[in-house]
Homo-oligomer: A and B are copies of this chain.
């Protein structure tokens, strides 16, 4: 087949939720807005809704006939884009499966294992190469450089430079800047999770990304913001992979974040720098401990 219709399936599932809360659906362009897809896809969804007797559809009248049932949804495996599938599959291989640094990566073999064409794998590898974990030998294979101690040290060195710079920009933001509101929301979530840490400590990973990304964004520098992708993917898979002492580690990080947030709010560059350094130091330790 030429293209997976994952955009359609994912939007279809999300549209089912919209449908569940109303008795008649809005106009096609409006639905497109809500779902983030083009009218072509919206019309395909409406057509399928009609076939499934979920609605009647006559021009502007889209009347809901029944509530969606679990079996109306497409299975979630079918809604992931190919890029996501390849990424997950690849990360599992290089992090979990004992992948030695220096190992060769074979596009064809990877494609066969994942059950996809070579072009998609190739494009993934090109995109992924900016994370510094693989390297291309032209006209030949890719080489896995591996998730090593050196990698972690190089990554954190740059991260520390960038985050210190960003924190310095953050304290200088005017009070009217929307970042302060977002910071308030993030702080509130920190307190909520800390209050029920035993049950909710897994929510830290996502919150961590949200917080640090907010800080990086205040640098207004695309290279700094883009670099956060590297940090993000590393920590994302790292959290999935290494769960020892997760509750305790996360609790500690949450406390550090709170101190860091308070320091940012003080508008005092010195305090912010200090709190930032303290947190980054312990984040680095945590990362390094998980590497053999």
Contact = CB atoms under 8 A, between A and B. Distances in A.
A182 interface: no
A119 B122 CA distance: 11
A130 B130 contact: yes
The residue in A155, A162, A221 that gathers the most chain B C-beta atoms within 10 A of its C-beta is: A221
A148 to B, nearest CB: 11
Contact of A157 (B7, B157, B221, B230): B221
Interface in A131-180: 132, 139, 151, 154-155, 157-158, 161-162, 165
B119 A154 contact: no
Nearest to A158: B223
A126 B126 CA distance: 7
A127 interface: yes
A123 interface: yes
B123 A154 contact: no
A233 to B, nearest CB: 14
A224 interface: yes
A157 B222 CA distance: 11
Nearest to A227: B223
B126 A223 contact: no
A226 interface: yes
Nearest to A83: B138
In which size bucket is the chain A interface? 20 to 34
The residue in A122, A155, A223, A227 that gathers the most chain B C-beta atoms within 10 A of its C-beta is: A223
Given A126-B123, A127-B126, A158 B7 contact: no
A165 B157 CA distance: 10
A139 B151 CA distance: 33
A251 B226 CA distance: 35
B227 A154 contact: no
Contacts of A161: 161-162, 165
Nearest to A165: B161
A275 to B, nearest CB: 21
Given A122-B123, A126-B123, A132 B223 contact: yes
Contact of A222 (B154, B162, B165, B226): B154
Nearest to A151: B222
Contact of A154 (B130, B158, B223): B223
Given A7-B139, A139-B7, A161-B161, A223 B123 contact: no
11 contacts: A122-B123, A123-B126, A126-B126, A130-B130, A154-B221, A158-B223, A158-B224, A161-B161, A161-B162, A161-B165, A223-B227
